[in-house]
Amino acid sequence: MLGEQSGRLLRAKKLDDIIFAGSATRARSDRVEVTLTLDNSDRWLPVDVPEVAAARRGYRSGESDYIINKKKVRLREIQSLLTKASASQSSYAIIGQGLVESVLNLRPEERRLLIEEAADIQRYRLKIEEAQDRLKATHENVERVRLLMKEIAPRLAQLERQAKRAGEHARLSRELRQALQAFYEHQWHRAQESLAVARANHDQAKAEFVQAKVALETCQRELSEIAKQLEE
């Protein structure tokens, strides 16, 4: 983590070459792990813990895990933490084997890059990379939202049509109820009027019947009296 990341410069063609291969008395290991424990009681590292344990765990598959205080993180997070404390790989706190000779043989532009790293410019490069990653993630989120909107747009149009039809149906249902109510009220009033006329006709017929009955009874009495007179 503080030193060289390249297996070639560590005299290993691959990560598997630095994992214990076993012996006559010990079985081979499936992984290699190195932990760097740093005293942070004076908070020289920008984290609020008294001790920071940064570890790298490598597997025979070639994969690696990076860990800070038993929590898996990305290599960049470890580099960023150490860069802020000027203790990263690029700060040259540890110089790899043959690095001095390599520096002397560098071309001017390569030497300039090396000087930039030694001047702690790597910290700002990491910040730029992090900002670029966030920007990329933002663009991806925007693209996902755009695709989602494109996907649901037909459905929204369909829902709008359904809502419009539902509104039209509700309006027609309301108008139908109002028309039926007006029709039934009109029919009721007509029925009431017809009932009143029928009752009046009934009352008139009843009165005429009574009058006719009285007249009939009168005639019958008169006929009875005439008949008696004839018999005498």
Residue-wise pLDDT for 127-139, tens only, equals 777 788 888 888 8
**Number of Cβ atoms within 10 Å of the Cβ of 90:** 21
What is the per-residue pLDDT across 73-107, written as a single tens digit (0 to 9) for each?
988 888 878 776 655 444 444 455 556 666 667 78
Q: 3-state DSSP: the chain helix, strand, coil percent, rounded to 5?
A: 65, 10, 25
- Rounded CA separation 129/121 (Å): 13
Among candidate residues 77, 69, 65, 72, the one with its CA nearest the CA of residue 52: 69
Q: Answer positive or negative: Cα dihedral of 42, 48, 50, 51.
A: negative
Biggest alpha carbon–alpha carbon distance for the chain: 178
Whether 15 shows a pLDDT value over 90: the answer reads: no
Q: How confident is the model at residue 11 (pLDDT cuts 50, 70, 90)?
A: low
pLDDT of residue 135: 86
- Rounded CA separation 32/22 (Å): 12
Q: Percent of the chain having pLDDT more than 90?
A: 7
Concatenate the DSSP letters of all residues of 67-132 into one string.
Answer: EETTEEE-HHHHHHHHHHTT-SGGGTSS--TTHHHHHHT--HHHHHHHHHHHTTTHHHHHHHHHHH
Whether 190 shows a pLDDT value over 80: the answer reads: yes
Instruction: Tell me the chain's radius of gyration from C-alpha atoms.
Output: 53
Fold of 8-95: Rossmann fold (3.40.50)
What is the per-residue pLDDT across 61-77, written as a single tens digit (0 to 9) for each?
888 899 999 999 988 88
Mean pLDDT within 19-33? 86
Mean pLDDT within 22-29? 86
Tell me the average pLDDT of the chain. 79
- Residue 215's identity, in one-letter code, is A
Among candidate residues 59, 103, 56, the one with its CA nearest the CA of residue 82: 56
Mean pLDDT within 104-126? 68
What is the per-residue pLDDT across 192-213, written as a single tens digit (0 to 9) for each?
988 888 888 888 888 888 888 8
